[in-house]
Amino acid sequence: MQTYKTREEVPVQEKWNLDDIYSEIHKWEEDLNTIEQLSNELKKFDGAIQSGQELFQFLRKQEELSYKFNHVFPYAMLKVDEDTRKTESQTLLDRARNLSVKVSSNTSFFMPFLLGLDEETLKGYIAEEKGLEYFEKDLFESFRYKEHVLTKEQEEILSQLGEALSAPSTTFGMINNADIKFGEVTNKEGEKVELTRGMYSKLIEDEDREKRKEAYKAYYQPYLQMKNSIASTLSAAVKNNVTTSKIRRYPSALEKSLFGDMVPKEVYENLIKATKENIAPLHRYTELRKEILELNELRQYDMSVPLVSGVKQDISFDEAYETMLKALAPLGEDYVETLNQFKSSRYFDVRETPGKRSGAYNLGVYGVHPYILLNHQDDLDSLFTLVHECGHGVHSKLSSQYQPQISARYSIFVAEVASTVNEVLLIHYLLDQEKDEKLKRYLLNHFIDKFRGTFFTQVMFAEFEMLTHEKAEQGQPLNVEVFNQIYESLFKEYNGDALVFDEEVKYGWSRIPHFYRPFYVYKYATGFASAIHIATKLLEGDAQTLESYLEFLKSGSSDYPLELLKKTGVDLTSPEPIKNTLSKFAELVEEFAGL
């Protein structure tokens, strides 16, 4: 695998092209100034909206500001993520963040004003000003928030606290991406080298158990050293969320998170309940793992090593891309052609380099195109990551293409559907193509592990979030001991008794960035369940599902997420999709055990 010491060494074709947003920095500066100007103009509407025409002028200006801000902020963020150590990029992002707080403060009067109107007055404004029809659905959607919006003065104070309230998340981000130095591991030459995240993802799958153990201990070392600092940031994030939920008069922080998507609390609770009722196949798989690895004691650093050895595949980025295009053929020629364009137009940042943000993501920039960050390691996992992020990318691209700005951004609730449909299609393609029994077993094992990570682990995380928020709501303390106790008992409950726990296991909570974006992870699991249903139908050649699914990808947020999914044949208000997903997992485990 090619490794790079600097970003400059990476071939141009494997670096994203940010010139598509701003070809010169002075254009970024111009937009930043325009946003500030528009923000000041918007403030003048405070107390001055007396007619449909004035309401329309305010909303049109606000949308213009939003369009520009959705170029200024992503550009700065993408620059930072190329190399988190560069202060000039951090400065751009800080300026964009500060401006965001100012905009939020200058427009904070609008929600209280809007919700102070009675419905008849608003309808009168819309009848009087034709341009308002474009905003009508959004305006009435805002009425749902009536009881959760504060007075004008209170809203202004809250918006000014925006930066302070997001500080725990920002602090954890800096600790996790810029400051953390992992312990040392032994390389092939027998020399001690500092562990990187990319190396860890390789070493934790190494067939040599001592190497896995060494990497595991080195990886957790800084988290254990900084456990109190990280516990303090996580505790503050949870408490901030609980406090703002109370201020906004929501029954709980969980219900505040679900409100925007119109998801009933029962969907969240049923997900956890149904998973725990059907957890036996996961325990069976853990025992199978111990048996196949022939271990007296199964430990956490044994949970990622492939159970079929000697089939490590080297897959270059170009090969991975070709495989993806073939695997996604069931989605039709247009879909595949869209993906061809992604590569030739440099939507990707492919390689791991020092200081680059870890992990992978897709970021859609409305009016430009999606940007996809990867840290490609030339292996099977990287192929899956590529296919996953391209699912998000095409979803962003099609929603932007077919929806106006106001409804182009899809809800996070449905975000994981497109990515996971792609992964399911990929695994089926790979299994169908494979003639070698050993490789087939390897792929099946890979899919089971993927299932465990994307579904069961996320449900466990979701329960951890629910329990920690409940403690904060009851005024109970949140600290290292509390987080450890909750995390360890959940880990045992989900993974079964076959595991022997190292000291590090209970600190798993300390390295999860998603916990700073409350009640987000359950959407991976509901998305996974929805995707299993859709992909199964696509593989059966169901033309109706293909048509409704492609429509879904073009829908953005033109309807509530549960309604959009119902159109593809998935009803998450019933336990069926979850139960079907869990029975699919049980089948996979039995098939693997049979092999």
pLDDT digits (tens, 9 = 90+) for 320-345: 999 999 999 999 999 999 999 999 99
Please compute the mean of the pLDDT values over residues 582-593 and round it to a whole number.
93
In the predicted structure, residue 251 carries a pLDDT above the cut 80: yes
Residues in a beta bridge with 98: none
Q: Which residue has the higher pLDDT, 62 or 161?
A: 62
Q: What does the pLDDT read at residue 430?
A: 94
Alpha helices in 44-129 (DSSP H): 52-82, 87-106, 110-116, 119-128
Residue position matching structure tokens 């030739």: 344
Which residues does 190 contact at the CB level (< 8 Å), separation at least 6? none
Q: For residue range 63-99, what is the model confidence (pLDDT) as tens digits? A: 999 999 999 999 999 999 999 999 999 999 999 999 9
Question: 144 by DSSP, 3-state: which?
Answer: helix
Q: For residue range 157-180, what is the model confidence (pLDDT) as tens digits? A: 988 898 898 999 999 999 998 889
Where are the domains positioned within the chain?
Answer: 7-165, 181-225
Tell me the C-alpha distance between 549 and 551, whole Å: 5
Q: Which residue has the higher pLDDT, 23 or 155?
A: 23
In the predicted structure, residue 311 carries a pLDDT above the cut 80: no
Tell me the C-alpha distance between 283 and 302, whole Å: 15
Tell me the C-alpha distance between 455 and 521, whole Å: 10
Which CATH code for domain 7-165? 1.20.140.70
Q: What does the pLDDT read at residue 72?
A: 98
Q: Which residue has the higher pLDDT, 503 or 2?
A: 503
pLDDT averaged over every residue in the chain: 94
Residue position matching structure tokens 């404004």: 125
Q: Active site residue: 14, 352, 389, 416, which one?
A: 389
Q: What does the pLDDT read at residue 412?
A: 85
**pLDDT interval class at 150 (50, 70, 90):** confident
Please compute the mean of the pLDDT values over residues 422-447 and round it to a whole number.
91
Residue position matching structure tokens 């000291």: 503
Q: For residue range 178-228, what is the model confidence (pLDDT) as tens digits? A: 889 998 999 888 899 999 988 998 899 999 999 999 999 999 999 999 999
Query: Tokens at residue 593, please?
Result: 């055990």
From the candidate CATH numbers 3.40.250.10, 3.40.50.720, 1.20.1090.10, 1.10.287.830, the one assigned to the domain spanning 181-225 = 1.10.287.830
Q: What are 116-123's contacts with CB under 8 Å, separation 24+?
A: 119/143
List the end-to-end C-alpha distance of the chain, in Å, as a whole number. 31
Distances (CA, A) of 172 to 183, 227, 513: 19, 12, 8
389 is catalytic: yes
Q: What does the pLDDT read at residue 310?
A: 74
Please compute the mean of the pLDDT values over residues 247-258 and round it to a whole number.
96
Q: What does the pLDDT read at residue 181?
A: 92
Listed range (25-29, 91-95, 310-314, 497-501) with the worst mean pLDDT: 310-314
In the predicted structure, residue 358 carries a pLDDT above the cut 80: yes
Q: What does the pLDDT read at residue 174?
A: 92
- Beta-sheet strands, E only, within 360-506: 361-364, 370-373
In the predicted structure, residue 390 carries a pLDDT above the cut 80: yes
Q: Which of 417, 443, 411 is nearest to 429 (CA)?
A: 443
Q: For the chain, what's the residue count?
A: 595
Q: Which of 242, 276, 115, 58 is nearest to 168 (CA)?
A: 242
Q: What does the pLDDT read at residue 96?
A: 97
